[in-house]
Amino acid sequence: MTPVQVGIVGGTGYTGVELLRLLLAHPAAELLTITSRKEAGLAVADLYSSLRGHTALRFSDPGQAPLQDCDVVFFATPHGVAMQQARALLDAGVRIIDLAADFRLRDTEVFERWYGMPHACPDLLAEAVYGLPELHRESIRDARIVANPGCYPTTVQVGLAPLLRHGLADTTHLIASCASGVSGAGRKAEMGYLYAEASDNFKAYGVRGHRHGPEIEQELRRLAGGDPRLACVFTPHLAPMIRGMHSTLFALLNDAGRAADLQALYEGFYAAEAFVDVLPAGSAPETRSVRGANLLRVAVHRPQPDTAMVLVVQDNLTKGAAGQAVQNMNLMFGLPETTGLQGIALLP
C-alpha cells in the first residue's frame, strides 16, 4: 500500500514533536515535509535529539515547503494559521487536520470573541468535522477538514457522553474541574511556566472564563440533543507535572439516572473503543498510567444517590492532541484506527 504522504506546519512545539514521534514510527505514513519559519534549514534531529537516527528531514520555510504534494497536512500552529492556508490546500486536494481552534467553534462571533481575530474562511466551517473519533467516527472518514479537539474538551466529552446521550443528567448543572501538566501551555518562555514557578505548586487559572469553555458547551449540547439550557462550569488548573491531564466531572442525575447502573452504562458505551478504558468500580485513574499513550482511562462513581462523578485521565499531548490527530488521519485514509498508536504508557 502506498504510504500516506504527510506534511506538518509548525513542528517546533510540544505538539509538533509528539506528532513527529508518532508519525516517524507509523507503518503507513511518510513524512514529506515539516515547516518552521524560524528554524528553516535546521535538521529536525538537531532541535529534538530524541529523533536522532529516525529522520534526516530539515525544517522548511512555509513558503517553499511542498505542502500541496501531501495527502494530508497537520497544523500544529498557533490559532489563526490554518484558516489562512486551508482554501489553497483543499483546492489542491490536500486534506487538513488542524490541532488549533480555527475550525472547532461553529459560531464565528464566539470564535472572534475568544480568539481575538476575525475568521478567515467562515464558509469552510460548515464542512469541518469535529475530530473526536469516539463520537464522530463516521463523519471523520470522509472529511476534508478535521478540527482536532482541545485537550480539556476531549476529557469532558468522553466523561459525560454516556450520561448525556442517554438523557440521564440535569444538563443545567454540569461541573468540570480539570488539571493539566505544564506542556499544555506550549513550548514558550513565560514567567508562570518556569520550573521555579510551576513546580511544587497547584493553581486554578482562567477562572473568569477560558476559551475551551465555549467548545465544551458547544459539543456537550450536541451530545444532549441540542439542549439550549445546557451549562457547564469549567475550571482549569495547572498541575506541577510536564504532561498529563486529570478531569473530575460532576452531574446531577434525573429520575432515570438515579435508577441506572452507571458502571454498566459506561462499560457498554465504550466496550468497542480501543482508546477508552473504563476502569472497574471504585477505581481512581492516575495520569502516569496514560503517559505517552493514546488512551483515556475513565472511572465512574456515585458519591450521592443523585450525583454522578466521573474521573478521566489522558496525556494532554497524545490523546489530548497529536495522538488523536493521528487517530483521525487513520480514519480519513481507511487505515485501522489503531495503526501506529498502540504504544504502552511509560511508567514510572
| Banded pLDDT at 71 (limits 50, 70, 90) | very high
Q: From the candidates 70, 121, 151, 232, give the one annotated as an active-site residue.
A: 151
Instruction: Please write the tens of the pLDDT for every residue from 245-256.
Output: 999 999 999 999
Q: How is the beta sheet containing 203-204 ordered, strand by strand?
A: 203-204, 232-238, 169-180, 245-253, 307-314, 296-304, 276-278
Q: CATH homologous superfamily for 4-127?
A: NAD(P)-binding Rossmann-like Domain (3.40.50.720)
Instruction: Please write the tens of the pLDDT for every residue from 32-46.
Output: 999 999 999 999 999
Do residues 169 and 262 make contact, with C-beta atoms less than 8 angstroms apart? no
**pLDDT at residue 42, as a whole number:** 95
Do residues 159 and 277 make contact, with C-beta atoms less than 8 angstroms apart? no
The answer, yes or no, to whether residue 142 has pLDDT greater than 80, is yes
Question: Where does the chain show beta strands of DSSP type E?
Answer: 4-9, 29-35, 72-75, 95-98, 129-130, 145-147, 169-180, 203-204, 232-238, 245-253, 276-278, 296-304, 307-314
Q: Does the annotation count 178 as an active-site position? A: no
SS3 annotation, 301-329: EEEECCEEEEEEEECCCHHHHHHHHHHHH
| Banded pLDDT at 185 (limits 50, 70, 90) | confident
Q: Model pTM?
A: 0.96
Residue boundaries of the structural domains of the chain:
4-127, 152-316
Tell how many helices (H) and how many strands (E) occur in the chain: 12, 13
The answer, yes or no, to whether residue 186 has pLDDT greater than 80, is no
Pick among 1.10.1060.10, 3.40.50.1700, 3.30.360.10, 3.40.50.970: CATH of 152-316: 3.30.360.10
- Residue type, position 236, single letter: P
